[in-house]
Amino acid sequence: MATESYPDDLRYHPEHDWARIDGDEAVLGITWYAQDSLGELVLFDGPEVGATVAKDGSYAEVESVKAVSDVVAPLSGEVLEVNQKAIDEPETVNEDPYGEGWLVRIRLADPGEADQLLDAAAYQAHIAEL
């Protein structure tokens, strides 16, 4: 298991998802807090390449032994790549939620949406209240 962290270079959605934005693309995943709440992940049921994801909508499911959770898209766009390692070895998401455990890469439909996301400090303040 990874130790708790919220990297400064990411943007966060209050439903515990992160985005690493690079020009008109972004890599998405779930936060340390999300993976810790779910426990050891045993299944990642992701979208197909080419699918569209809508900000605030569910685009995938992650399951631990004890619970299933929707994964909410922090930004809208088209899926360019799905992380095969997260499908084959879902525990990677627990071990490295911001690195090897990323979930999908998307082409952003509206880069301006990023302004609505939280920075690391604001996200940490958000989870401190939960």
Partner 1 sequence: MVPFAGWEMPVQYTGVIPEHLAVRADAGAFDVSHMGQLHVEGPMSAEFLQAMLSNDLDRISDGEAQYTLLTNERGGIVDDLIVYRMSHGHYLLVVNAGNREAAYGWLKEREARGTEVRDASDEYALVAVQGPRSLERLGLADAPAFTHAMGEVDGVEVMVCRTGYTGEKGVELMCAEDDAVALWDAVLARGVVPVGLGARDTLRLEVCYPLHGNDITQDTDAISAGLAWTCALDTDFTGADVLRRIKEEGPERRLAAFVMEEKAIPRPKMPIEGGGEVTSGTQSPSLDVGIGMGYVPAAQAAPDTELVIDVRGKPRRARVVKKPIYRKEH
Q: Are 34 and 28 in contact (CB under 8 A)?
A: no
Q: Which stretch binds partner 1 (CB under 8 A): 16-24, 64-72, 76-84, 108-116?
A: 64-72
92 binds partner 1 (CB under 8 A): no
Q: Which stretch binds partner 1 (CB under 8 A): 7-15, 19-27, 38-46, 108-116?
A: 38-46
Taking CB under 8 A as the criterion, the residue among 54, 68, 121, 122 binding partner 1 is 68
Taking CB under 8 A as the criterion, the residue among 12, 19, 32, 64 binding partner 1 is 64
Q: Are 79 and 49 in contact (CB under 8 A)?
A: yes
Q: Which helix (H) or strand (E) holds 28?
A: strand 25-30
Taking CB under 8 A as the criterion, the residue among 7, 15, 20, 39 binding partner 1 is 39
Q: Are 29 and 102 in contact (CB under 8 A)?
A: yes
Residue showing tokens 């455990």? 101
Radius of gyration of the chain (CA): 13
Q: Which is nearer to partner 1, 31 or 69 (CB)?
A: 69
Taking CB under 8 A as the criterion, the residue among 15, 25, 40, 100 binding partner 1 is 40
Q: Which residues does 3 contact at the CB level (< 8 Å), separation at least 6?
A: none
Give residues in contact with partner 1 (CB under 8 A).
39-40, 42-43, 45, 61, 63-66, 68, 87
